Amino acid sequence: MIIILTISALVTLVISLVVMFISSVLAKKTSMDREKNSPFECGFDPKGSARLPFSLRFFLIAVIFLIFDVEITLLLPVAPILSLCNINSWIFTSVFFLIILLLGLYHEWNQGALEWTK
């Protein structure tokens, strides 16, 4: 039984290596032309650099937005499950979650992460 598994593993390894080698040989670019390697902008040479500086402030606000957006989606099922839960545990859980969200928002505001310009 071990011999059959070893042989099948070796056959699988050999077949995958052959397929990877064939695909790497066939996928090679045949011409390294300057025109093909340059960025294309409506048939003209580009006016500026393709690499523009990225605002870290924008990135930070986008990440904060995504975090709070996901947390809002966690709040959506709170209202429909009111009839299925004990009212005291529902209130405690909902208020606790909202307090955590508000503390996180206050911390971000206090640190100045929500200001677009300084």
What tokens appear for 5 in the block?
A: 């598994």
Residue 116 is predicted with a pLDDT of 72
Residue 74 is predicted with a pLDDT of 86
Q: What is the pLDDT of residues 34-77, one digit of tens each?
A: 666 666 656 666 666 666 777 788 888 888 889 888 888 888 88
Backbone angles phi, psi at 115, to 5 degrees: -85, 125
Residue 24 is predicted with a pLDDT of 82
Q: What is the largest CA-CA distance in the chain?
A: 71
Boundaries of every domain in the chain: 56-111
Residue 18 is predicted with a pLDDT of 95
